[in-house]
Every structure is written in C-alpha cells, then in structure tokens.
Amino acid sequence: MTDSATHRDSAITELYQDQSAHVVASCGIAYYLTSCCDASGKGSMGSIVCRSCYEEVDSLFALGWSVADDSDWARFRSHMLANYPVSAETVDAMHAAAR
C-alpha cells in the first residue's frame, strides 16, 4: 500500500457541524465527534465515553454509518433530515464527499 492510499483511506472528511453536532467520515464510516474533545465515542464498562477524556457522553456517539452500504447510508440520511436543518441535497453531497 502506498502512502497516498493510506492517507486517503484514513483522511477525515467533514460532513456537518453546527453548535450541537459535528459529523465526520473516515475509513468508510460516518460518525459523530464529541463536543468536549472533538473525539469519537467508545464503549466502556457501563456507558459510552469520549475517546479522549473518558467523560460519559450520549449513546449517539457510539453510532456509525457505513458510507458504502446503501441501506446504512439511507438510515444516516433519514437521521440527518429528521434532526438537523439540512436539505436532501446537502445530505447527498455529504455522501459524495465521504466516498
């Protein structure tokens, strides 16, 4: 594997950010970043925590959506349209950027 392939595969693509949410895609997965540290969430013994500071966060931070799986992306699309002030065209552009 070349350095450029490694870099492209692990690059982080910004998908959405406002005062309440930060969503990125990396390695084929779209996911939320925590507001405390701009880090992903992870499971711990009894909760979901920030991967950086280990403070407990909402279970939303444990979610991830596959960019390549059409049904998974459809769930992400529905989630974004229902919860954020984005248009269908904006979410479709997110999908194109994340691929």
pTM across the whole model: 0.84
Written in H, E and C, the secondary structure of the chain is CCHHHHHHHHCCEEEEECCCCEEEEECCEEEECCCCCCCCEEECCCCEEECCCCCEECHHHHCEEECCCHHHHHHHHHHHHHHCCCCHHHHHHHHHHHC
Mean pLDDT score across all residues of the chain: 91
pLDDT on residue 54: 97
pLDDT on residue 9: 57
Residue 59 pLDDT class (50, 70, 90 cuts): very high
Question: Tens digits of per-residue pLDDT, 17-50?
Answer: 999 999 999 999 999 999 999 999 999 999 999 9
